[in-house]
Amino acid sequence: MIIADVVLCDMSGERQCDIEVIDGRIVRIAPHLEGESRRSYEGCYLLPGLVDTNVELLDGQLNSKHLDKIAQQAVKGGISTVVLMPNSTPAVDNEIVLEFLQKHRKQKLAANIETTVAATKEDETLSNIAVMLKKGALAPYMTTAISNNLACRIAEYVKMYGATLFCKAQDSSLSSVGVMVEGTMATKLGLVGIPPLGESVHVARMIEIARHYEIDIVFKSIASPRSIEMISKAKEEGVRVYCEVGLHHLLVSDAACEGFNTTAKLNPPLQQHDDMLRLQHALKSGHIDMLSVLHQPASPVNKDVAFFDAQYGSEAIEEALSLYYSKLVRTGMIEMHDLVRLCVHNPARSIGRESGSFVEGENINAVLFDPNENLHVKNRLSLYDGETLQGRVKALFKNSRMIEVYMDSRS
């Protein structure tokens, strides 16, 4: 197959060219190629498949049905690799659950599913990190709602096995009673707020652990601009710490909670408007390492309740690439090749993979994206319900297969 007349966009930038694929392998990349199997996609981008390392299952329930569904949904958003958070039911904190998940890892006509593993069990004892890493777990995951002793023991395992630690910074004594960010809107709604200080204090603690043990830590779904400042400063000092930010926190403020809108109840909570702008500035300045659509789906029965009782989360995985393109690229916040770095190269590297470039001789893992088509969001469990986004995923090229998504649709 010759994928012709596309704008090839990877870590090296953008270029108009053709790419020939035989048996799932890239054999030639050139300005123009001829052949019987030539298919023109003029005006479309060809990008490496996105990697999202912060995805949850519907209502946090781990089962075959939900795994198959998330893999199929991800393809529509241009995501070729989904990395699940281990805080599901049952939790991914033992070899049996890990092996169950690994049986669903390779999806023929959908995104691949990977997972991190919980570093601690529900009773706050250590899980068998060593065994799970040996069995192919990508990385241990922890929240900072544990003792310093446990955090240090986890760091020792991470150092021993050369892994990356995924870390969610939060203060359980604050987040357990609050339901949205502390501020004017929380006061207006009469809801208990969560101070952003709860995140940044724990980020500082884990930076020092990373410094002491000389390990890599990826801070998951950072929402406080102050946290990003500390992480950036630590990186300048040679500490191997990195930050991921959820797309929602760059685009939507806590004002979305107006009227007790439970779709805007997220974990971490949406920030006040000024902090949202500071997060955007951090993105433009290159201080954010990776992005996630922070897909946290909840059934309507768990959302159509009082704000205090509603489950956290919003859906976005099916519109991922369209959202990134419409909200970040078209607005001039970042360039398209920056998107590849933030949503492919860096998240892939955090799980020990290399992705983000098209190279002759390697297997193809790419998404075909038409920036000239519109995508209408029709999902009341999405923060973007009713919006028209610019750009639509057409297909995913995975090994020797072409997975069509919206090939025959017209706006």
156 shares its domain with 285: yes
Of 54, 103, 43, nearest to 83 by C-alpha is 54
pLDDT of 243 > 50? The answer is: yes
Mean pLDDT for 193-199 is 93
pLDDT of 376 > 90? The answer is: yes
228 shares its domain with 142: yes
User: What is the predicted pLDDT for the residue at 106?
Assistant: 75
User: What is the predicted pLDDT for the residue at 366?
Assistant: 95
Mean pLDDT for 329-336 is 96
Contact assessment for residue 64 and residue 399, using Cβ atoms and an 8 Å cutoff:
no
169 shares its domain with 248: yes
Question: Per the domain annotation, does 301 fall within a domain?
Answer: yes
346 shares its domain with 367: no
Question: Per the domain annotation, does 382 fall within a domain?
Answer: no
302 shares its domain with 342: yes
What's the pLDDT tens digit per position in 284-306? 999 999 999 999 999 999 999 99
C-alpha 136/C-alpha 355 separation (Å) is 19
For residue 105, name the pLDDT band (cuts at 50, 70, 90): confident
Residues 6+ apart with CB under 8 A from 316: 77, 247, 248, 293, 294, 295, 323, 382, 383, 384
The region that residue 358 occupies, defined by phi over 0 for left and psi between -120 and 50 for alpha, beta otherwise, is beta
pLDDT of 109 > 80? The answer is: no
C-alpha 154/C-alpha 142 separation (Å) is 9
Question: Per the domain annotation, does 66 fall within a domain?
Answer: yes
337 shares its domain with 365: no
Share of the chain above pLDDT 70, in %: 98
Range of the domain at 364: 2-45+360-374+387-404
Question: Per the domain annotation, does 411 fall within a domain?
Answer: no
Question: Per the domain annotation, does 220 fall within a domain?
Answer: yes
C-alpha 95/C-alpha 126 separation (Å) is 13
pLDDT of 408 > 70? The answer is: no
User: What is the predicted pLDDT for the residue at 406?
Assistant: 66
Share of the chain above pLDDT 90, in %: 90
What are φ and ψ of residue 36, in 5° steps?
-65, -30
Question: Per the domain annotation, does 381 fall within a domain?
Answer: no
Query: Domains in the chain: how many in total?
Result: 2
What's the pLDDT tens digit per position in 256-275? 999 999 999 999 999 999 99
Q: Supply the CATH number for residue 36's domain.
A: 2.30.40.10
178 shares its domain with 157: yes
Q: Supply the CATH number for residue 113's domain.
A: 3.20.20.140
What's the pLDDT tens digit per position in 40-94? 999 999 999 999 999 999 999 999 999 999 999 999 999 999 999 999 999 999 9
Mean pLDDT for 181-187 is 96
160 shares its domain with 191: yes
Distance spanning both ends of the chain, measured CA to CA: 27
What are φ and ψ of residue 321, in 5° steps?
-65, -35
User: What is the predicted pLDDT for the residue at 330?
Assistant: 97
24 shares its domain with 152: no
Question: Per the domain annotation, does 299 fall within a domain?
Answer: yes
105 shares its domain with 136: yes
Both tokens of residue 50?
Answer: 């996105």
278 shares its domain with 266: yes
Question: Per the domain annotation, does 206 fall within a domain?
Answer: yes
pLDDT of 365 > 70? The answer is: yes
For residue 104, name the pLDDT band (cuts at 50, 70, 90): confident
Mean pLDDT for 27-46 is 93
